[in-house]
Homo-oligomer: A and B are copies of this chain.
Amino acid sequence: MSQPLTATSYAVLGLLSFGRELSGYELKQDADRTLEFFYRAPSMSQVYRELDRLTEAGLVKARSVNRPGAPPGRVYRLTAQGRRALTKWVESPAPRAELRHHPAFRLFLGHMANPAVLRRQLEDHRQRLVETLASLRAVRASIGDDPNVRHAALVAEWGIELHEGELRGLDQVLDRL
């Protein structure tokens, strides 16, 4: 009996759905570069655990490789069954988006803090927001209009609007604080 898969399992499956065979290590790097913007990138060890699980369930298949410039390892690809399972998951109703907004949490409890410290917190967050926006714009630009990653481009555009809204709101807060 195979245990039920989680969103993280499908994240790994999803990264393999773009056609390239990937090692656990490469999967982690991909996750850090793409998934990170709208989901949580799993830890290295979690990636390997998911790969074991997905292999056992027959959704991915490993192949041993000896690549130049790297120690021997394994690369994974989707099986036909994995492809079907992924499609089914993508088409199943998505749970609501979850937000764990620590800086907003601090603001909510602002009556407990020194006002200058609170403002500093928000300004630090503003800096990170600006950086995130720059990364997102760089990602969007690097994609161009490659139809292969059309949806990734849309996600990037969506993320830009979302973060611009957050930045506008934050500036408003800093004004009124």
- Show the binding face of A for B, using Cβ within 8 Å: 7, 10-11, 14, 17-18, 34-35, 37-40, 83, 86-87, 90-91, 93-114, 117-118, 121, 124-125, 128, 148, 150-152, 154-155, 157-166, 168-170, 172-173, 176-177
Closest residue to A153 on the B side, CB-wise?
A: B176
On whether A161 and B154 interact (CB within 8 A), knowing A91-B114, A99-B98, A113-B90, the answer reads no
A93 adjacent to B107 (CB under 8 Å): no
Q: Is the interface of A mostly helix, strand, loop or mixed?
A: helix
One complex includes copies of this chain to the number of 2
B109 adjacent to A14 (CB under 8 Å): yes
Which residues on B sit within 8 Å (CB–CB) of A118? 90-91
